[in-house]
């Protein structure tokens, strides 16, 4: 049955090959894919969900941490099926965090609530244009000390999964912008310490946490490779490192995918 279905997909995709754009990125959990329509007026659906297309015909889609094993992309009803690779997630045990950072008190909870409203809001500030470059660069020269998607046990308490990667580096190490975009938030937060949010356009944002110093202001446009701050251990951290998270709206993306795959020609 699968073979018949697949041959049909190939058969139809050959007929309509000129209709279907090249898709970039990673078909994997935590992955992000992108494409540019041949005709800007085409309708894009991914697993029946209508996808927003920019004025230039660009579209992006993120799979998140858990996704089924395949996805159907439809361009004006021409459908193609792609496999989505699954990921094995680690269990990460971290101990020695200050008690308050794992079990916050009443005052802390107020602050956490305010922080999360601000973060949520800045995930919504959306430049409809594509601001990111085709290839992201590693923001800090250092060892990857925490990977995307791990289930975290903090001071023996199960906490949310790790939505990003950690790069260990000495305090003061320069943090470079991994791609271009506009700064939409600079703040000092309970969990993430000194924090920057960078809007890459089309709903894609980067969050940088635990900084020592911040070198940018809200509203600044930054280019790939520009210094935006330095590594620290502010907020909830056991040692100096950069936490780099990427989101497409509310869906968290594995930043490693953006380092390994280019997003357009």
Shortest gap between Cβ of 172 and Zn ion (angstroms)?
19
Beta strands in the chain (DSSP E): 23-25, 32-36, 44-46, 49-50, 58-62, 70-75, 78-83, 91-94, 143-146, 151-154, 157-159, 165-168, 174-176, 181-189, 193-201, 204-214, 221-222, 227-231, 241-248, 251-253
Rounded Cα–Cα distance for residues 58 and 35 (Å): 6
Q: Among the candidate windows 74-82, 135-143, 162-170, 226-234, which touches Zn ion by CB under 5 A?
A: 162-170
Shortest gap between Cβ of 231 and Zn ion (angstroms)?
12
Rounded Cα–Cα distance for residues 62 and 164 (Å): 14
Residue among 115, 166, 212, 254 that touches Zn ion (CB under 5 A): 166
* 146 vs 181, beta carbon nearer Zn ion: 146
Rounded Cα–Cα distance for residues 162 and 150 (Å): 5
* 29 vs 166, beta carbon nearer Zn ion: 166
Residue among 243, 246, 252, 261 that touches Zn ion (CB under 5 A): 243
Label residue 16 exposed, middle or buried (CB < 10 Å: 0-12, 13-18, 19+).
middle
Shortest gap between Cβ of 198 and Zn ion (angstroms)?
16
State how beta strands 91-94 and 151-154 pair: parallel
Shortest gap between Cβ of 91 and Zn ion (angstroms)?
15
* 33 vs 228, beta carbon nearer Zn ion: 228
Rounded Cα–Cα distance for residues 148 and 186 (Å): 23
Rounded Cα–Cα distance for residues 197 and 123 (Å): 9
Shortest gap between Cβ of 256 and Zn ion (angstroms)?
13
Q: Among the candidate windows 42-50, 63-71, 83-91, 139-147, which touches Zn ion by CB under 5 A?
A: 139-147
- What's 61's DSSP letter? E
Q: Among the candidate windows 83-91, 118-126, 142-150, 232-240, which touches Zn ion by CB under 5 A?
A: 142-150
Our finding on whether 210 is near Zn ion (CB under 5 A) is: no
* 57 vs 64, beta carbon nearer Zn ion: 64
* 35 vs 146, beta carbon nearer Zn ion: 146
Are residues 199 and 131 in contact, defined by beta-carbon separation less than 8 angstroms?
A: yes
Our finding on whether 92 is near Zn ion (CB under 5 A) is: no
* 31 vs 146, beta carbon nearer Zn ion: 146
Kindly list the residues in this chain that would bind Zn ion in the complex (CB under 5 A).
146, 166, 243
């Amino acid at each position: 049955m699968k073979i018949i279905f697949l041959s049909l997909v190939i058969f139809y995709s050959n007929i309509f090959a000129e209709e279907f754009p090249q898709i970039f990125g990673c078909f994997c959990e935590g992955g992000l894919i992108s494409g540019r329509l041949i005709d800007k007026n085409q309708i894009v659906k991914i697993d029946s969900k209508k996808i927003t297309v920019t004025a230039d015909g660009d579209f992006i889609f993120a799979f998140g941490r858990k996704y089924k094993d395949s996805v159907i992309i439809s361009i004006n009803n021409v459908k193609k099926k792609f496999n989505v690779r699954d990921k094995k997630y680690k269990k990460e045990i971290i101990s020695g965090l200050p008690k308050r950072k794992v079990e916050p008190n009443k005052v802390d909870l107020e602050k956490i609530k305010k922080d999360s409203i601000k973060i949520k809001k800045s995930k919504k500030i959306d430049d409809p244009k594509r601001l990111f470059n085709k290839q992201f660069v590693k923001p800090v020269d250092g060892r990857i000390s925490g990977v995307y998607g791990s289930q975290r046990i903090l001071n023996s308490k199960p906490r949310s999964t790790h939505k990003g990667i950690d790069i260990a580096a000495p305090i003061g190490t320069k943090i470079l912008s991994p791609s271009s975009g506009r700064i939409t938030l600079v703040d000092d937060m309970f969990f993430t310490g000194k924090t920057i949010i960078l809007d890459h356009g089309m709903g894609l944002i980067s969050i940088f946490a635990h900084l020592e110093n911040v070198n940018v202001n809200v509203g600044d446009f930054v280019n790939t490779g520009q210094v935006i701050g330095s590594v620290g251990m502010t907020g909830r951290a056991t040692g100096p490192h950069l936490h780099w998270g990427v989101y497409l709206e509310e869906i968290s993306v594995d930043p490693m995918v953006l380092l390994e795959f280019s997003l357009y020609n």
